[in-house]
Chain A
C-alpha cells in the first residue's frame, strides 16, 4: 500500500502543474476560449511537445506506457486550471479506443498525428435516446459494397466540432440496447452526408450534434471486429470516468482554495467572515467532500486493469462520489462567495459550473448508482474493496 508518487510521476506532476500555473491563468484562459474550436492550438502543440498527449499509449504506439495514475496526475492539474483543450475527448476516449480496437495500420495512421498534436479525434458515442448508456445505439451501419453506409444522430459529442476525425459508434446488428452488434467507424466530418452542429457547453467547452445521412465509409474505416466493440467501449468509458474523477478533484481543490482565501479576506461585521462558525463548518464539509473525492479518484485510477465487472463496480462508485461531492463543493463555493460567486468575473463560478457539469459527462451520480446497485449481491468481504495480492501486479498505477 503506497499512495505516494514515484520519481517519474513526481516529475510529471511538477511539469504539468507548472504549465498550468504559469501559462494557464484565468485571464489567459478567457483568451484561449475565444480561439476557433474553443481552446488554444498553441497549448495543444505545447502539450504534444511535453509528451502529455502520448502518456497513456503503449510504447509500440509511440506512447509512454502510462496508466491510470499518470492520467490522474495530468487531469488533476488540468482540473485546477479548468483546461479547455480536448485531452479527455481526443486522447483518453477517442485515442484510447483506437489503441484498443485499431489494426497496426490504423493505429499508425490515427495515433501518430494525434500524439504529435496535428490531429484531433472525438468520440461520438451518445445518442438522443441513449441518455448515459453507451450501448444504446440506434445509428445504423449497413453493408454497402465493400464498405458501410452510416445513418443516425450522435448527441453531445464532446469537442465534435473541432475534430478532424470522428469515431462513431453504430449498430451493424442487433436491437438498440444489445451488447453485440456494436461497431466503431472512423468518419471524416468533411465528407458528404455528415452534418456537424457545434455549440458551446455551459461548462466552457464545446460539443456538437452529429447527423449521419447515408455516409459511405470504406471497410478500412471500421475499428476492430464487426459488431464486437462493446468490451473496448466499456474499457474506454471506464478510463474516461477515471480521468473525469481526477479532473474534478483538481477543480474541487481550486474551488476550496479560492473559497478559503475568500473567507480569510472578506470582512463583514468587523471580522473576516471565516470567523463565523456556520461558514467554518460549511468550509470543513467542503474539505471533507474533497478528501472523499480524492480517495475515489485514486481508487478509480488504480482499478482500470481489473477484470471488467470489478473495474466497473469501482468506477461506478467513484463517479457517484465525485458527482455528489463535486456538486456539493460547487454549491457551497458559490454560497460562501456570496454575490461574487454569482459573477462571470470570478473564477470560482467557472469552477462551480465545470464541477456540476462533470456529473453530466459519461454518466451522472444516479446513473452510476444504478449500475453500482446492479453490480451483484456478493457478500461484503473485509478485503473486498481493496482486494488481495492476486491483483497486485495489474493494479500498480504505472502499468497498462
Chain B
C-alpha cells in the first residue's frame, strides 16, 4: 500500500506544469480565472497549442496521435490543467466521437476525421438528446430513412452544447422503427452545413448561450457517414458513455474552485474581519474540503485499478455523483461568500475585454451566474439519479 506518486510521475507533473506556465495564453487563463466567457477563437487557439505539443488527444492510442499516457499521468494532467486555469476542453470531438471512430470506424473514417479533430478543422457537437429523449436516451425518434447512397434524416436534437460553433455533429437516429427500442438506432456523422440543418440558441438561466436546438429537415447524409453497422448505434453510444471515465470526478476542477473560494473568502469582509476567519464560513469550507479529499482518494483508487488493467464500470457513476455534488457545493459557497454583491448581474461584465466599472468587487461578478450554470452538472452526462440507478443495478444487483 503506497499512496504516493513515483519520482517519474512527479517529474511528469513538473513537465506539465512548466508547459502550461509557458504556453497557456495569459489572456485566456485570466478569462477562466475571472469567470469570463470563452470564445470560439479562444478554444481553437488554445487547443491548437495543445495539439502542436501532442497533448490534445490525451487518451487516444499513440498511433492516432494520442499521448499513450497512463491513467495516472492523465489524472495528473487533468489536475494541472485545471490548476493553471486552462479552459474547459471541448470534449465532443476529441473525447467523444474520436474514440468511437477509433473503436468502430472504417479506415477511411479514421483517416478523414481523426486528423481534422487534431488540427481543429472540425468542431464537433453531440446530437443525442431530443425533446422526448433525455434520461431515456434510447427513445430517440429522429428518423434516418435509406435512400440509395444516403439517409434522409428528420428530427430534432436538443441541449446541443456549443453547437453554434460546430461544423460536424455525431447523431443517434432511428434506422429501423420496428426494432426494439435500443436496437434500430444508428450512429451518423452529419455535416452541419448540409441543407436542412438549423441551429437555434437556447439561453440558459445564467444568461449564457451554451446550448442549442438542432432541427433536421430532410437532411441527406451519405451512407459512408454511418459509424458501425446499421442498427448498432447504441453500441457506440454505450461505449462513449463508459469510455475514459476516470476523469469524470472533476477533482482538478473542484480543487481549483476550492482554491478560488478560499481566495474570495480572504478578500471578503464580515464583522470587520476577513470572511475566511469567520468560524461558521470557515467550517463550511472545511466541510467541502474534507469531502473533496475523500473524493480524490476514491478517484485515485479507481485510477490505480485502471492503471493495473481494471476497467472502471459503475464506479464512474459514484465519482460522477460525488464530484458533481462537491463542485455544486463549492459554487454555492462562492455565491454566498460575496453576500449582497451576489445580486448585481451585468452580462457584459462576463465578456472578455469589457472595461466598464464593475458593481462591487470584480471577483463577485460571475459567481451567481456560475452557481446557476453549475446546476447542470448533476443533470448532464446521465443525471445523478440515473447514475444511482446504474449503481443499484450494476454494483448492488437490485
Task: Give min CB distance, B262 to chain A, whole Å.
Answer: 7
* Residue of A9, A260, A380 ringed by the most chain B CB atoms within 10 A: A380
Q: B294, A321: Cβ atoms under 8 Å? A: yes
Task: Give min CB distance, B311 to chain A, whole Å.
Answer: 16
Would you call B362 an interface residue if the criterion is a C-beta within 8 Å of the partner chain's C-beta atoms? no
Q: B298, A391: Cβ atoms under 8 Å? A: no
Q: A391, B4: Cβ atoms under 8 Å? A: yes
Chain B interface helix/strand/loop/mixed: helix
Which B residues, 191 to 216, have Cβ-Cβ distances below 8 Å to chain A? none
A4 to B3, CA, bound (A): 10
Residue of B nearest to A371 (CB): B286
Would you call A5 an interface residue if the criterion is a C-beta within 8 Å of the partner chain's C-beta atoms? yes
A397 to B3, CA, bound (A): 9
Q: A386, B398: Cβ atoms under 8 Å? A: no
Q: A1, B291: Cβ atoms under 8 Å? A: no
Interface string of A299-315 (1 = CB under 8 A from B): 10110000000000010
A369 to B290, CA, bound (A): 9
Would you call B322 an interface residue if the criterion is a C-beta within 8 Å of the partner chain's C-beta atoms? yes
Q: B255, A283: Cβ atoms under 8 Å? A: no
Q: B2, A1: Cβ atoms under 8 Å? A: yes
Determine the chain B residues whose CB is within 8 A of the CB of A302 once the complex forms. 1-3
Would you call A274 an interface residue if the criterion is a C-beta within 8 Å of the partner chain's C-beta atoms? yes
Interface string of A360-400 (1 = CB under 8 A from B): 00000000011011000101111101111101100111100
Known contacts A5-B1, A369-B290; decide if A281 and B252 are in contact (CB<8 Å). Answer: no
Q: A383, B5: Cβ atoms under 8 Å? A: yes
A294 to B298, CA, bound (A): 8
Would you call A267 an interface residue if the criterion is a C-beta within 8 Å of the partner chain's C-beta atoms? no
Q: A296, B392: Cβ atoms under 8 Å? A: no
Determine the chain A residues whose CB is within 8 A of the CB of B290 once the complex forms. 316-317, 320-321, 369, 372
Q: B298, A292: Cβ atoms under 8 Å? A: yes
Known contacts A281-B385, A370-B283; decide if A292 and B295 are in contact (CB<8 Å). Answer: yes
Would you call A344 an interface residue if the criterion is a C-beta within 8 Å of the partner chain's C-beta atoms? no
Q: A1, B300: Cβ atoms under 8 Å? A: yes
Q: B259, A380: Cβ atoms under 8 Å? A: yes
Determine the chain B residues whose CB is within 8 A of the CB of A287 once the complex forms. 318, 391, 395-396
Determine the chain B residues whose CB is within 8 A of the CB of A112 once the complex forms. none
Determine the chain A residues whose CB is within 8 A of the CB of B297 once the complex forms. 295-296, 298-299, 385-386
A392 to B9, CA, bound (A): 12
Known contacts A369-B287, A382-B255; decide if A283 and B396 are in contact (CB<8 Å). Answer: yes
Interface string of A316-359 (1 = CB under 8 A from B): 11001100000000000000000000000000000000000000
Residue of A nearest to B1 (CB): A397
Q: B392, A1: Cβ atoms under 8 Å? A: no
Would you call A143 an interface residue if the criterion is a C-beta within 8 Å of the partner chain's C-beta atoms? no
Determine the chain A residues whose CB is within 8 A of the CB of B305 once the complex forms. 3
Known contacts A372-B289, A383-B13; decide if A3 and B4 are in contact (CB<8 Å). Answer: no
Which B residues, 250 to 298, have Cβ-Cβ distances below 8 Å to chain A? 252, 255, 258-259, 262, 266, 276, 279, 282-283, 285-287, 289-291, 293-298
* Residue from the list A9, A260, A321, A388 in contact with B1, Cβ < 8 A: A9
Interface string of A76-115 (1 = CB under 8 A from B): 0000000000000000000000000000000000000000
Would you call B389 an interface residue if the criterion is a C-beta within 8 Å of the partner chain's C-beta atoms? yes
Task: Give min CB distance, B5 to chain A, whole Å.
Answer: 6
Determine the chain A residues whose CB is within 8 A of the CB of B286 once the complex forms. 320, 369, 372-373
Task: Give min CB distance, A75 to chain B, whole Å.
Answer: 14
A398 to B2, CA, bound (A): 9
Would you call A123 an interface residue if the criterion is a C-beta within 8 Å of the partner chain's C-beta atoms? no
Would you call A219 an interface residue if the criterion is a C-beta within 8 Å of the partner chain's C-beta atoms? no
* Residue from the list A284, A316, A321 in contact with B392, Cβ < 8 A: A284
Determine the chain B residues whose CB is within 8 A of the CB of A168 once the complex forms. none
Residue of B nearest to A260 (CB): B396
Q: B1, A3: Cβ atoms under 8 Å? A: yes
A269 to B286, CA, bound (A): 44
Q: B4, A387: Cβ atoms under 8 Å? A: yes
A149 to B15, CA, bound (A): 62
Would you call B304 an interface residue if the criterion is a C-beta within 8 Å of the partner chain's C-beta atoms? yes
Determine the chain A residues whose CB is within 8 A of the CB of B80 once the complex forms. 382
Residue of B nearest to A380 (CB): B259
* Residue from the list B5, B7, B252, B318 in contact with A1, Cβ < 8 A: B5
A14 to B259, CA, bound (A): 42
**What are 15 A-B residue pairs whose CB atoms fall within 8 Å in the complex?**
A1-B300, A3-B301, A283-B398, A293-B294, A296-B297, A316-B290, A321-B290, A370-B283, A380-B258, A380-B262, A385-B296, A385-B297, A386-B5, A386-B296, A389-B10
Which residues of A line the B interface, CB within 8 A? 1-6, 9, 69, 260, 263-264, 274-275, 277, 280-281, 283-285, 287-288, 291-296, 298-299, 301-302, 314, 316-317, 320-321, 369-370, 372-373, 377, 379-383, 385-389, 391-392, 395-398
Given contact pairs A321-B294, A377-B266, A392-B4, enumerate 11 new A-B contacts (beta carbons under 8 Å): A1-B304, A260-B396, A264-B397, A284-B396, A287-B318, A288-B321, A288-B322, A292-B322, A298-B297, A380-B289, A382-B13
